[in-house]
Chains A and B, each alone.
Chain A
Amino acid sequence: MATIKDAFSIGSKCTIVHDADLRGDITIGSGSVLHPRCSIVAYSGPIVIGSNCIIEETVIIVNRTKGVMRIGDNNHFQVGCRIESPQIGHSNIFNPRCRTSPLITIGDHCSIGAGCIVLPNPFPPPFSAPPPGEEEEKEGATPMQEEPAAAAAEEGDEADRDPSSPRPPSLPPKDPPLSTPAPLPAPTTMHIPSHSTLFLSSTASSPSDIRTRVWSGEGSGQGKAFHLKHLEYLREMVPRGNKLRMFV
């Protein structure tokens, strides 16, 4: 397994606490605040985070794809999030313990509700039945394993691997049934449009069963001011209670 090479490019006025875990090729814009125990891991590809972002404790921002992961300005990642989206816009709020899949891109001014697991399909596809001509082999064929909702962040990877090993179109009846599952539909990236509010409905069957509402944009001035005041506070108070990590 290749080791991760660190390459940090940290903007001015960033406040990064010394026990924040930064690994890989990371660029952080000016003015951002990283709380203790957050993790930014550019595992395969680089991560670029914009300016004035607030990344709270136990947040995990990980890039396991080869491409660049771009996160815009003024985002607020609250406690316990797990972010794998390759493209995130500006001024979003990620409420505690939400998770975004690598197949999701997020616009601006969105609010991802607490505990939501944002997947391109709320319900991952079940195994597909084999075509009628091959019914006889059915009992040996392994059905596609359905991912539990809690492991849903891995679903993007599984879906990536499977289409590359499709079943051959015709099967002689004497051969033992193949154990490779039927090909899944190609994974599609879903974009969360700007000004969306994602939340779990009270009748949600699982954390990935999410409802969406469009925000009118009312109160965005207050939101912006709140974010700026929050940043000012953090830049003043976090260094008093914590040792900072200095980047040259």
Chain B
Amino acid sequence: MSSSTPIRYSKSDYIETDTGNKVAKSCHIKGPSNIVLGGKTIIQPGVMIRGDLRRAGGSGPAVVIAVGKYCVMGENSVIRPPCKTYKGVFSYYPMKIGDYVSIGSNSIVEAASIGNGVEIGKNCIIGPLTIIKDNARIADNSIVGPGTIIPSLGEWGGSPARPTVTLPESTPELIEAKAKAYYARFQPE
């Protein structure tokens, strides 16, 4: 398959914003005013994003989920912020997702922060309050326990997720190119 083959989608299935974000209409996005998409991000059908679980005790606008640019959220994944009790106060904490992140289909992501260039596989479960540093990779079907910190350029897999290989140093450039190419190929019919 040539890397410039377009991936066609039906124009009526997606909403395109000014900044080039393409959000499927069948997504379940709760609290859309609390969600920031960086631009040229693709959110595939059936994704559920919980922007309504905001920080306790705050009023006024808050960013619950901040997503970077050129990200892809796979079909039917669930993106929700993590929660914990800190100094006796229970709250949900904002979730930050970096640029060029791709989240595989059917994954459940409750991470506290995801760096740039992270690839999360299909059917993964990312536990609450995990921190995934830049350019890491989570293999398909892995279950990352709560509070895990996944270092840069590491590929983790299995359940509970454990480090498997170290990714090559060219990974940041490769992932950035891949994400931009994917967005360029994602064209309406």
**Contact of B152 with A by CB under 8 A:** no
Contact with B along A197-221 (1 / 0, CB 8 A): 0001010100000000000000000
Known contacts A79-B78, A114-B159, A202-B160; decide if A230 and B83 are in contact (CB<8 Å): yes
Q: With A115-B143, A238-B52 as known contacts, state yes or no: A204 contacts B159, CB within 8 Å.
A: yes
Contact status A226-B78, CB under 8 Å: no
Closest to A241 in B: B52
Contact of A237 among B28, B56, B80, B110 (CB under 8 A): B56
Q: Are A241 and B30 in contact (CB under 8 A)?
A: yes
Residues of A within 8 A of B53 (CB): 237, 241
Is A232 among interface residues, defined by CB-CB distance under 8 A?
yes
Interface residues on B, range: 20 to 34
Whether A200 pairs with B143 at a CB distance below 8 angstroms is: yes
Residues of A within 8 A of B133 (CB): none
* CB of A49 to closest CB in B, whole Å: 22
Tell me the nearest residue of chain A to B145, going by C-beta: A114
Stretch at the interface among B16-24, B66-74, B84-92: B84-92
- Is B108 interfacial (CB-CB < 8 Å)? yes
A96 within 8 A of B: yes
Question: How many residues does chain A have at the interface if contact means C-beta atoms less than 8 Å apart?
Answer: 26
Q: Among B51, B85, B108, B158, point to the contact of A229 (Cβ < 8 A).
A: B85
Contact of B31 with A241 in the complex, beta carbons under 8 Å: yes
Taking A96-B108, A202-B160, A230-B90 as contacts, is the C-beta distance between A237 and B78 under 8 angstroms?
no
User: What separation, in Å, do the CA atoms of A19 and B28 have in the docked complex?
Assistant: 10
Q: Does A242 interact with chain B (Cβ within 8 Å)?
A: yes
Residues on the B chain within 8 Å of A238, using CB? 52
Say whether, besides A202-B158, A230-B83, A241-B52, A37 and B125 are in contact (CB < 8 Å). Answer: no
Chain A residue contacts of B91, Cβ below 8 A: 233
Query: With the chains together, A79 CA to B107 CA distance in Å?
Result: 10
With contacts A114-B143, A115-B143, A202-B159 known, is A237 near B90, CB below 8 A?
A: no
Q: Are A114 and B51 in contact (CB under 8 A)?
A: no
Docked Cα-Cα span, A12 to B74, in Å, equals 38
| Complex contact B90–A79 (CB within 8 A) | no
Q: Which residues of B have CB within 8 Å of A229?
A: 85, 90
Cβ-closest chain A residue relative to B161: A202
Interface positions of A (Cβ within 8 A of B): 19, 36-37, 57-58, 79-80, 96-97, 114-115, 200, 202, 204, 225-226, 229-230, 232-233, 236-238, 240-242
B interface list, Cβ under 8 A from A: 28, 30-31, 34, 48, 50-54, 56, 78, 80, 83, 85, 90-92, 108, 110, 125, 127, 143, 158-160, 162
